[in-house]
Amino acid sequence: MYGMIDLIYIPKTFSSVSSGWSYIPTKFHVSRSFIAPGIRPLKAKVKKFGPKILQLLTEWTETFPSDFREEKMVAHLKDIIHRIAPCDEAYRKKLNQVLQNLNAKLAAMAQGDETIVKVTASVSDKLVAFKTKPATIQKDMISICNDPFTLAQQLTHIELEHLSHIGPEEFVQAFVQKDPLDTTQPCFSEQSKSTSNLEAYVRWFNRLCYLVATEICMPAKKKQRALIIEFFIDVARECFNIGNFNSLMAIISGMNMSPVSRLKKTWAKAKTAKFFILEHQMDPTGNFYNYRTALRGAAHRSQTAHSNREKIVIPFFSLLIKDIYFLNESCANRLPNGHVNFEKFVELARQVGEFMAWKQMECPFEEERSILHYLHTAPIFNEDGLYLASYESESPENQVEKDRWKSLRSSILGKT
């Protein structure tokens, strides 16, 4: 994180450092240290080290607020404030502001957690939900929103909402491991990992994949299925134009799921030229070379844009996680001579720093509550349900498919 490259060393006469604490002088990691109880710093010491302590606490609470979810951590912070504040009125005001800002961030995080729980609890994946409803009251995506531009914008709302709740500490807590050259435990080794927002975002991606596949497999008529394929192709293209690569990849993945791709008669009836162009953009060949080129273009556009609509950059999140994971796993935290591997942490800082800049973007599109509600709560088929719906739409082509169809009809519909 910016401004934290310089180490903040505090003499032993001023403070003692807990045995589990280690210095990590990078933009990506923030030092976890506390002024030991029972040691009263002199005013002269506070004036000397106060600016560094204030900088540390400000950067820490702003960038890693989830560290302070436990009352014990908040108590440590308040203790530091009580020790330093009486020595200087300016410090007292600034530290109280730090505490107020932290409380606001924690409240926002708690609200985000409640939203995740509510959305998760309202999602259903039962095929029976569709089979038992009269056709007149069944809903599909096109009946809720038949404009690809509007749907792409609402998907962008959801993506940015998820991104806003993900902090850099979740990357640290997801991947940090003990370095074999370290002689002390790393900062997070004994702490419970809090990656709920990151995991919720991955679940959203999977949900969108299955929602797209469900919408395509659900209609009984081939013409309607072909129209839905064309509709989602247009949505995916608009996601690309917006810079929403995560929704784009989820839509492409959903359309490439086996229960959808086997619908050969349906695909033959649909206009798919634009789909193959989008597939080419997200082709994994060359470590997603085409996508990475497009992402760099979107990032450059964001930096020079005057319109908020042109500033949106939503990366393909699973690939971002993969990049960070392999960078963390393939490079040691320390060099063979025992020195910190600065190059690794600088690159980690660059990747996470880019993500932090992108996630702060406010969505410029107007919310459509009915569409957002449908995207969050519409029932979706699980894998077996998708295969059954696919076989019901276009008959099995070989004995293996016939046997599976018969098994699914028996287990899901109670038919033989």
Query: Each residue of 244-258: pLDDT tens digit?
Result: 999 999 999 999 999
Return d(Cα 93, Cα 59) in angstroms, integer.
16
- DSSP assignments along 187-230, one per residue: TTTTSPP--HHHHHHHHHHHHHHHHHHHHHHS-SSHHHHHHHHH
Query: Each residue of 317-349: pLDDT tens digit?
Result: 999 999 988 888 888 888 899 898 899 889 888
- Give me the residues paired with residue 244 across strands: 314
More confident call, 130 vs 151: 151
Q: How many CA atoms lie within 13 A of 167 on its CB side?
A: 24
- DSSP assignments along 37-103, one per residue: TT----HHHHHHHHHHHHHHHHHHHHH-GGGG-SHHHHHHHHHHHHHHGGG-HHHHHHHHHHHHHHH
Position 394 confidence tier, pLDDT thresholds 50, 70, 90: very high
pLDDT > 70? residue 13? no
Which of 36-40, 159-163, 353-357 reaches the highest mean pLDDT?
Answer: 159-163
Residue 97: the pLDDT is 85
- Here the tokens at position 178 are 């003990």
Residue 161: the pLDDT is 92
Name which of 85-89, 202-206, 330-334 the model is least confident about.
85-89
* Structural domains of the chain in order of their starting residue, each with its CATH number: 1-122 (no CATH), 124-413 (1.10.840.10)
Name which of 41-45, 90-94, 269-273, 337-341 the model is least confident about.
41-45
Give the chain's mean pLDDT: 78
Amino acid at 20: G
- Here the tokens at position 122 are 């309202």
* CA 240 from centre of chain: 18
- Indicate if the alpha-carbon torsion angle 401, 381, 314, 162 is positive or negative: negative
Residue 191: the pLDDT is 40
Residue 195: the pLDDT is 72
Return d(Cα 228, Cα 215) in angstroms, integer.
7
- Here the tokens at position 354 are 């880019």
Which of 13-27, 34-48, 314-328 reaches the highest mean pLDDT?
Answer: 314-328
- Here the tokens at position 54 are 């204030």
pTM: 0.74
Residue 2: the pLDDT is 32
pLDDT > 60? residue 125? no
- DSSP assignments along 341-367, one per residue: -HHHHHHHHHHHHHHHHHHTPPP-SPP
Q: How many CA atoms lie within 13 A of 75 on its CB side?
A: 5
Q: What percent of the chain has pLDDT over 70?
A: 75
Residue 42: the pLDDT is 52
Which of 66-75, 133-142, 229-238, 330-339 reaches the highest mean pLDDT?
Answer: 229-238
Q: What is the mean pLDDT of residues 29-52?
A: 53
Query: Each residue of 262-316: pLDDT tens digit?
Result: 999 999 999 999 999 999 999 999 999 999 999 999 999 999 988 889 999 999 9
